[in-house]
Structure formats: C-alpha cells, structure tokens
Structure 1
Amino acid sequence: MTDTAVRLRVATANLKRAGYNRKTRFHEHDKLAAMLAPLQEAPHALYLSECTHYTGTPHDPDPIEEVLKLLGSLWTTLGPDGRKFGEVPYRAWISEVPGSVNVPGLFVDPRIIQPRAWYGLAGRRTQLANTLTATINDHPFRLKCLHWNGSRGPTGLTEQADQDGQGASENALYAGDFNTTSSAEGETVYRNWGARCDRVGRPWMRSQKGIRRPDGTWVTHTGMDRFLEHGWWDAGQVAGDFTPTTTDPETALRIDRIVLSKRSPARFDPDTYAVHGHPLLGRGAPRNDHLMVSADVIVEAAA
C-alpha cells in the first residue's frame, strides 16, 4: 500500500483509420508517431479511438506488434552505459465492435496501471463490454476507450450516453471520441449545423453530430451533458479549456475527451490539460481530422 499520490499521464488520440492505407493495405505507423510527438513524456494510459485493422489481419508483421514496438521506441531513456532503451512496456486491449473496423484501443503502462481483467463482448453485461479493470495506486479502476457511433444518429448517441454514463458508479477513467459535445459555457455549439454541413459538402453529417429541431433546422448534439450528469468530470471543462478537437474550421467541435467518474479517489490537474496542434504527417500529406488531448490525473493514496 502506498502513502503518496500518483500522477497518471493520460492521452487520447484519434488518428484516421490508424494510418491504414487502403491501397497498400498496410498501416503507415509514422503518422501515429507524428501525432504522439508533442508528448514529452510517455502516457501511462493511451486511448486510441480508431485502431483500424490492428487485429484480425493476416499481415506479417502483425500490426499490433508493430504498434507496440513503435510506442516502446517513442519515449526512451539512457541506461548506465549511455545506450537508449524503450521506456514503456505497453500492453494493449483492442475493443470488439460488431460491424465496425474503426474500433477503439487501450494501451497502458502495466508498471503504473496493473491490469486485472479484460471484459470483451461475449457473455458480459453491455456496460462492462470492452472495459479493462485494473489497480492504480492500490485503488480498483475501470478504463475504457470509447468511440461513440455517430451513424446511429441522435437516438443512438443518447443511448450511448446513458449506457456508458452508468460507468460512473465505479472508479472509472474513460476517454476517446464521443462524437458529441456539451452546452457548457464556452463550448462550441452551432445553431446552424445543417447549413455548415452543406457548406463543407457533407450534408450526411447532420445526424452524426446534430439533432433536428421541430422547425426543421439542425443544431449540434449536446449529448455530453446527459453523459456527465451521471457523475463524471470532463478534463477540458475542469480546466476551462474548450478548444475544439476536430480540425475542419467550419464544423470544429470538442468531441475528443478524457473523463473521470466523480466517485473516483482522483482528480484532474487542470494545469496539464492540453489540446495538441496539427501533427505534421510528411510533405504533402493531409492533416489529421482530430487533435490529440492529454491531461494528468492525480490518484490519491489508498487509505
């Protein structure tokens, strides 16, 4: 049992299709490296919202093995002999989401987050599906990487907010792409969402992140309000930083988030919250459509 608090470094990133190239059918892992480059220190919990084809592929080498090697090489330290070696022996859990290849994945440093059990889909309660139970500073925690499915529309977003919101009944640290925003003061909320979708040539986005009012106009969906009401803190809201995390200037929203259940023996350090700038993915390469978010969580000592 420890008698001091632990500082837990957390980051969530949504690299489009995990850098998967549909033409070559291989991942361009340098894009992930570029996106994570702003992190000066290795995160103890890394949430990746789109782990496209990380598992279930016939590729050699195996994509998940390549990712784990990459993560182990990004943050290095010097040994007594002056040689560099990887700092973090990450372990990975990739979620199962029927009908989707853009599934979320969770990567943790087992020296700080001691895994206990992974709950997949088969035979498990829906609320626990794709959840890692672990011990952090002698406290039990649930960790889950989320990617709410916007294609299910407003009704689906509400269902997902209610289902995952109930995780607040335990010590829990969730993060990922929620595909919805909140109505908090300072938050980006569009009253002309439908018109904006039309301006960018993607009218189908109306229901992915919006809701239709009785007068026929569309506004952005604020389903995070409903989720947070179940008993969660949102890192950006705690820090008073409402920087959008998607990059299209016409439709930018803060949908990538790190959330902590209020019952947890932990708190966000608001001074560490950051939305990181556009990653440089190489000459002529398109910028990613999401920005990385990071924050520190202070986990109190066990009584």
Structure 2
Amino acid sequence: MTGTELRLRTATANVKRGGFNRRTRFHDHDKLAATLCSLKEAPHALFLSECTHYADTSHDPDPLEEVLSMLGSLWTTRGPDGRKFGEVPYRAWISKVPGSVNVPGLFVDPRTIQPGTPYRLAGRRTQLANTLTATINGHPFRLKCVHWNGSRGPSGLTEQADQDGQVASENALYAGDFNTTSSAQGETVYENWGELCDRVGRPWMRSQKGIRRPDGTWGTHTGMDRFLEHGWWDAGQVAGVFTPTTTDQETALRIDRIVLSKRSPARFDPDTYTVHGHPLLGKGAAPNDHLMVSADVIVEAAA
C-alpha cells in the first residue's frame, strides 16, 4: 500500500491465565474465542496480556499451536463447497519475564505487519526487552504487548512506567494490561482505594493498583500519567472515552490500553475506539475479569 495511508486494526484482551485451568492442567480457549468474536474483522495486531504456559512448556496439546489455529480460523469465510478460505496466518511472540508464567504475547498478521528482529531479555537495554521490530506501511515500528507487574507495588509500577515510557523515542505501538490508570478528567479514580479493597475482601490489592499517601491512606495509582508524559498518546484519552476495563463494579479501573508514541507517523482513529462488553459464554461460565479494547491506527505512507 505504498503511497497511501494504512488502517491498522489493533485489539488488546486479557483472558485470565490464557484459559489455563490449574486443576486440569489444560487450556480452555473458548473464553478467548468468545471474547474475540465481537471483532468484525481480524486485528492486524492482537495483544494478549496473559499467555500462561503458551511457550517453553511440555504441555500436550501445545497451547500456542491451538491458539494460532483458533485465531487463524475465527474470521474465515466458507466457499460454496464448504471449504474455509481467508485464514489469518498469525505469528506469535511470547514474552519472557523472569519469575512469571502470566506473560504477555503479541500476535501479528505478517501480511500487514512485516516482522523483523525480536528483542528478548536485552541485557542492560531493558526498555527494549520483549519488543518486536517490524515494518508497517514502510515505517520501522517497535511493538510490544505489556503486562505491568502489580505485585511489585507502587515503586515497581513507577519503574515500569519509566522504562517503557522511554521507548517513545521511537515509532512505537504498545498495548496490554498496565495495571495503573491516569488522572485525566473523566478517568475513574478512587480516593478511598484502601477502604474499597477491604470492602471487597481483597486487602492485598492495595499495592497492586494503589499508592499509599503520606497520611497513610490509599488512593488509585495513576502511573499512566508518568508513562504518557514521556511522549505517548492513549487511544481512550484521544477518543474521550474512559470506560473502565476491569469488571468488578466496586473497584473497576481503565487499565487495559492501546498507546502510540507521539513521534510515530501514525494517529488513532478516535471513532473506532471500543471497550467491548462481556462475551456470550456457555452456561455456568464465569465472566472474564477484563474487557477487550480495540482501536484503529492510521499509519502514514513512507516517503
């Protein structure tokens, strides 16, 4: 599509533990499939925040192969003879995060996003770890699915905001579960976060998404402000839509986000930003604790 703008479809979803069942030790991908079915067209970049045991395991059947097969066929059509065509040949990059199995994964359609070099754990250049260098409409881009680790507490969230924030120096498209929100007008924030954590019976959540103030009380951690100040656009803020993406009614926050570095030759289409509702699940199935977010990115043509 040289010489014309490219409409890049993106989506981020956090299905708990990637469908992994700790009791059976198997993956159930039905919830992921149901979540993605509200997308009318296949995303060119799909960010899955929890790809538990998708890679580097001895699981049989191989969960990553199952997911790629499922993703490839979700948006297919059938010919008159019943044969499927139009399958998406997704390629996957599962992050390596020491000490964690709930790692994020990036899935791209190589027909639109030409993948280049992936950076795993990049030595001292930690801000590049788990990123993928790719070409989009003739431009180099850095892509990454993130899942900021809330168990590291407020100082850890701040460190992750600074580390990933610095990649705004490049053309970059990130998405995932940031486990923190912003203080933008319209955003859901809680001044009584500690009290809410007690009320819902999860006092340990205080430091996962909150920060302790000098007076000893807990409020919502707004580390996304710090991240965005490095030079990023947030799709929801651009659209003026601040719908929370976690589903506990008393502690809901907008923590699942799609962000774009301001130096990128690209922009969000605010009319396409969507926080998707709960998918239709089988009888007795518990709803997911996150909602999917999608948005289109308009990428300029390379000169």
- How much does 1:157 deviate? 0.4
RMSD between superposed Cα atoms in Å? 1.2
- Is 1:31 paired with 2:31? yes
The 3-state SS of whatever aligns with 1:27 is: coil
Deviations 1:248-280 (A, max 9, x none): 000000000000000000000000000000123
Counterpart of 2:73? Answer: 73
Tell me how far apart the structure 2 counterparts of residues 184 and 165 of structure 1 sit (CA, whole Å): 17
Tell me how far apart the structure 2 counterparts of residues 189 and 128 of structure 1 sit (CA, whole Å): 30
Tell me how far apart the structure 1 counterparts of residues 236 and 5 of structure 2 sit (CA, whole Å): 22
- How much does 1:134 deviate? 0.2
Give the percent of matched residue pairs that are identical in Structure 1 and Structure 2: 86
Tell me how far apart the structure 1 counterparts of residues 26 and 244 of structure 2 sit (CA, whole Å): 30
Tell me how far apart the structure 1 counterparts of residues 136 and 43 of structure 2 sit (CA, whole Å): 14
Distance 1:142 1:286, change over 3 A: same
Tell me how far apart the structure 1 counterparts of residues 118 and 14 of structure 2 sit (CA, whole Å): 22
The 3-state SS of whatever aligns with 2:185 is: coil
Report if aligned partners of 2:94, 2:104 keep a CA contact under 8 Å in 1.
Answer: yes
Counterpart of 1:93? Answer: 93
Tell me how far apart the structure 1 counterparts of residues 282 and 167 of structure 2 sit (CA, whole Å): 39
Tell me how far apart the structure 1 counterparts of residues 108 and 54 of structure 2 sit (CA, whole Å): 16
- How much does 1:34 deviate? 0.7
Report if aligned partners of 1:182, 1:225 keep a CA contact under 8 Å in 2.
Answer: yes
Tell me how far apart the structure 2 counterparts of residues 135 and 80 of structure 1 sit (CA, whole Å): 36
- How much does 1:77 deviate? 2.8
The 3-state SS of whatever aligns with 1:21 is: coil
Deviations 1:83-134 (A, max 9, x none): 3224210000000000000000000000000001111115462011000000
Report if aligned partners of 2:178, 2:256 keep a CA contact under 8 Å in 1.
Answer: yes
What are the equivalent positions in structure 2 for 1:193-204 lying under 5 Å apart? 193-204=193-204
Counterpart of 2:274? Answer: 274
Tell me how far apart the structure 2 counterparts of residues 70 and 82 of structure 1 sit (CA, whole Å): 18
What are the equivalent positions in structure 2 for 1:127-276 lying under 5 Å apart? 127-276=127-276
Counterpart of 1:299? Answer: 299
Report if aligned partners of 1:16, 1:50 keep a CA contact under 8 Å in 2.
Answer: yes
The 3-state SS of whatever aligns with 1:263 is: coil
The number of residues matched between the two structures is 303
- How much does 1:23 deviate? 1.1
Report if aligned partners of 1:243, 1:254 keep a CA contact under 8 Å in 2.
Answer: yes
Residue type matched to 1:49 in 2? Answer: S
Report if aligned partners of 1:74, 1:86 keep a CA contact under 8 Å in 2.
Answer: no
Tell me how far apart the structure 2 counterparts of residues 130 and 228 of structure 1 sit (CA, whole Å): 20
Counterpart of 2:18? Answer: 18
Tell me how far apart the structure 2 counterparts of residues 170 and 117 of structure 1 sit (CA, whole Å): 15
The 3-state SS of whatever aligns with 2:68 is: helix
Residue type matched to 2:88 in 1? Answer: V
Gaps of 5+ in 2: none
Deviations 1:156-185 (A, max 9, x none): 000000000001000000000000000000
The 3-state SS of whatever aligns with 1:198 is: helix
Tell me how far apart the structure 2 counterparts of residues 124 and 90 of structure 1 sit (CA, whole Å): 30
- How much does 1:60 deviate? 2.1
Tell me how far apart the structure 2 counterparts of residues 209 and 295 of structure 1 sit (CA, whole Å): 24
Counterpart of 2:2? Answer: 2
Tell me how far apart the structure 1 counterparts of residues 140 and 252 of structure 2 sit (CA, whole Å): 36
Counterpart of 1:283? Answer: 283
Tell me how far apart the structure 1 counterparts of residues 82 and 53 of structure 2 sit (CA, whole Å): 37
Tell me how far apart the structure 1 counterparts of residues 34 and 198 of structure 2 sit (CA, whole Å): 31
Report if aligned partners of 1:15, 1:288 keep a CA contact under 8 Å in 2.
Answer: yes
Q: Which moved more, 1:75-84 or 1:56-65?
A: 75-84
Residue type matched to 2:259 in 1? Answer: V
Give the TM-score taking structure 1 as reference length: 0.98
